[in-house]
Amino acid sequence: MTRNVEGWAAARRVPVTLGARSYEVVVGENLLDEAGALLASLLPVKRAVVITDAIVAPLCLERLHASLAGAGIQATNVVLPAGEQTKDFPTLQGLCETLLDAGVERTTVVIALGGGVIGDIAGVAAGIVLRGLPYVQMPTTLLAQVDSSVGGKTAINTRHGKNLVGLFYQPRAVIADTAVLRTLPARQMRAGYAEVVKYGLISDAPFFDWLEEHGARVLAHQEDALRRAVVTSCRAKAAVVSRDEREQGERALLNLGHTFGHAYEAETGFGEALLHGEAVALGMVHAFALSARLGFCPQADAERVRKHLAAVGLPTTLGDVPSGPWPVDRLLAHMRHDKKVRDGRLTFVLARGIGKAFVSREVAPEAIAALLCEEGARPKAAAPSPGHETP
């Protein structure tokens, strides 16, 4: 049965329909202050552990604790370092030990308060400690609100690549407070906006048309536009997840731009040089450029994608990234480690036009290399000097 959300006429509710594991995504302003009232009806006991990071904690933690206390929910905190480097095995081990040190029981709820990194590592920990603790996503970035908090995909990174160790584990609820997004730097908002654009490019051409006209309003935090962007994105993802929870088919479309993007992130060390949403933006440009190059997509559509993302300040060429461009052979090597590889074949989400995405495993590496070189990648990594071994 869907766990219903009571109150708040202004909030928008998006159901994620998964039988007994169904839940709602609640979108609205100042929901951080109402979280206790919501969670009190969802939690098996009134005890919670809030997992957050060092940036979000001073901005949101006091308000959340006041809300939880008002509903009689006892909460403790775990504050992790901010940044993608937190999604690793040592941090996950430490987090699991901390939860066990705190004496959590199978009814103790984990609250993930933060962006995609916190949502991911908190979700993995909740899924494996005591073989499963209930958890709630409270995303504080635009990217997390429209994408990573919805659908139950949780993972950490390894030296082989991004998000390669994890599990599908659905939350009890997702609470997306759009007012919190005003605390984000403009660059983080733009990075999250890339994932909003993704939904239009996959299957909703009218939404992309709307974003071309109103995207600047979304990024300027105009509430009506921002709420529409978040709700539309969550509805799109919830519909796909409800039909394909474990990415056996349709859900793979949500990876538009990600095969390229994860390779670019790997080349920058998953750091501040290239944020995830920026990598996805660049990846979507290249997915459409590849689609046009292969004759699937009108060149005019590929140019629209590049033009819109550039207009809002997202990277659209390899030269836009401070450490780029990179050798094409290294980029292809990263792609071969992508978790979407099947029988040694790279998986790409391509398009027959805006709103017409499809999955392909028939793209020759030579076509990818040619596209990357056309986009500015260097032909090949430099060979080691004679007498020296590559470290």
* Residue 153 annotated in ligand binding: yes
By C-alpha distance, which of 335, 201, 355 is closest to 261? 335
Catalytic position from the list 87, 172, 262, 286: 262
* Residue 162 annotated in ligand binding: yes
* Residue 375 annotated in ligand binding: no
By C-alpha distance, which of 352, 257, 347, 345 is closest to 295? 352
* Residue 119 annotated in ligand binding: yes
Whether 255 is a known active-site residue: answer yes
Catalytic position from the list 198, 245, 255, 267: 255
- Paired tokens of 365: 């590496």
Catalytic position from the list 172, 276, 286, 339: 276
- Paired tokens of 202: 């996959």
Which residue's structure tokens are 């103790």?
A: 108
Whether 276 is a known active-site residue: answer yes
Whether 153 is a known active-site residue: answer yes
* Residue 301 annotated in ligand binding: no
Amino acid letter for position 221: H
Which residue's structure tokens are 């033009």?
A: 307
* Residue 259 annotated in ligand binding: no
The Cα-based distances of 286 to 78, 119, 292, 368 in angstroms read 39, 28, 10, 9
**Contacts for 47 with CB less than 8 Å, ≥ 6 apart:** 73, 74, 75, 105, 107, 108, 109
Rounded to whole angstroms, the Cα distance separating 153 from 117 reads: 12
Whether 97 is a known active-site residue: answer no
* Residue 200 annotated in ligand binding: no
Catalytic position from the list 190, 235, 258, 304: 258
Catalytic position from the list 12, 153, 227, 308: 153
Catalytic position from the list 29, 84, 245, 247: 247
Rounded to whole angstroms, the Cα distance separating 353 from 241 reads: 23
Rounded to whole angstroms, the Cα distance separating 356 from 290 reads: 14
**Contacts for 29 with CB less than 8 Å, ≥ 6 apart:** 10, 177, 178, 179, 223, 227
By C-alpha distance, which of 277, 241, 245, 244 is closest to 262? 277
Catalytic position from the list 65, 227, 228, 237: 237
What is the distance between the terminal CA atoms of the chain, rounded to a whole angstrom? 55
Whether 47 is a known active-site residue: answer no
Whether 195 is a known active-site residue: answer yes
Whether 251 is a known active-site residue: answer yes
Whether 237 is a known active-site residue: answer yes
* Residue 258 annotated in ligand binding: yes
Catalytic position from the list 34, 195, 278, 375: 195
Catalytic position from the list 65, 251, 339, 340: 251
Q: Which residues are annotated as a binding site for NAD(+)?
A: 116-120, 140-141, 153, 162
Catalytic residues: 131, 153, 195, 237, 247, 251, 255, 258, 262, 276
Q: Which residues are annotated as a binding site for Zn(2+)?
A: 195, 258, 276
Q: Which residues are annotated as a binding site?
A: 116-120, 140-141, 153, 162, 195, 258, 276
